[in-house]
Amino acid sequence: LNVEVAAATNVASVNRDNRLLGFQKQLGCSISAIGRALSLLLEQDGNTNLQLVRSLSDAGKLLVDLFSSYSSTRKELLALGLSKEFKDTLHNAEVDDWLFGINLDERLRASKNLEKVSQELRPAKPKAPVAYREAKNSRGRSLFPRVRRDRQPFHQRTHPFYSARPPSYPFYRGRNLARMQGQRTEETEFINLQRSLN
């Protein structure tokens, strides 16, 4: 496993990868054993059993394919916990002595620079103008509550701020007193006039 990937992956993922790596080592030992058996058979002069050689060769091919499948599975599981920015670089890495290939740090750095340059070369997307929707029905529902004219609003005062009756200030009190006295005088004269006529 590459050092860069091991440092960026959590402990659980590294332990799982170590278990898969153990299975791969067992497969590698099996492939080596079949290879030695084939070598011994081919070294015999004139007594080589071709059918046995074909069977061992097929078994070796199946084990090699299974070994390669383990490598692909390990790469996919480890890539799940890594940045998606380097997904393609990690997926296309060829397996050699290292799971993600040699010089992984240089290839990741080159991929990051390439992504940065490609973003700078892309044209900026123009901002779409904001379209305000016009009301199809001019008599649609208003945003403000309508106040009926035949009813007073709840918060509207039903009487004026001042009373119709003037305040009893001394000025008004004097005028009212004179008016009352004048009315009494007129009433008295009217009563006296009626009495004289009778």
Residue 77 lies in a domain: yes
Handedness of CA 187, 188, 193, 195 (dihedral sign): positive
Q: What is the pLDDT of residues 103-147, one digit of tens each?
A: 887 888 887 777 776 666 667 677 766 655 554 555 555 555 555
Residue 63 lies in a domain: yes
Domain of 89? 3-121
Residue 180 lies in a domain: no
Residue 168 lies in a domain: no
Residue 64 lies in a domain: yes
Q: What is the pLDDT of residues 38-86, one digit of tens each?
A: 988 888 766 678 888 899 999 999 999 999 999 999 988 988 888 777 7
Residue 172 lies in a domain: no
By the 8 A CB rule, do 90 and 82 touch?
A: yes
Q: Which has the minimum average pLDDT: 28-32, 62-66, 181-185?
A: 181-185
Residue 195 lies in a domain: no
Q: Which has the minimum average pLDDT: 51-55, 56-60, 172-176, 190-194?
A: 172-176
As for how many domains the chain has, the answer is 1
Distance CA 151, CA 148 (A): 5
Residue 41 lies in a domain: yes
